[in-house]
Structure 1
């Protein structure tokens, strides 16, 4: 999480550059549409106040006060910081 604003600039890197920048699991989740194992991520049970941001571009996505326990094993939020920040 971050307490600072992200940016909306698109980050364009080659596949090799993303692999250098991200851990293997971060790469799988953010670039290859993978998922973490349920109940295993460091933010699943986090109670820290702050803002969740995109790992790749830093854009603000969710505030911690909109997080809820959906029982799925992944962080869930009922509202994005900005309606344009996420897509369904």
Structure 2
């Protein structure tokens, strides 16, 4: 299987139906949330962070750290 075969292919309207307006801006329009404002900044629950678009795992909570930039890393 090629890398292109694993891509999630949806129309903009389908993405907008699935994602919140902020998620759509960040994930589909190369936007960023303002530093220090994201819902995960002060979230210390143990678990796994998954992509809001495709559901693939991104990282585990025990690898999260404060990079000092205003976004969880």
TM-score (norm 1): 0.73
For residue 63 of structure 2, the aligned residue among 66, 69, 79 is: 66
Number of the residue aligned with 2:12: 15
Could you tell me how far 1:11 is from its partner in structure 2? 2.0
Number of the residue aligned with 1:80: none
| Structure with more relative contact order (C-alpha pairs < 8 Å, separation 6 or more) | 1
**Which of 1 and 2 has greater Rg?**
2
**Matched positions, count:** 68
- Note if 1:56 corresponds to 2:34: no
TM-score (norm 2): 0.86
Aligned equivalents of 2:52 and 2:71: distance in 1?
A: 16
Aligned equivalents of 2:56 and 2:18: distance in 1?
A: 17
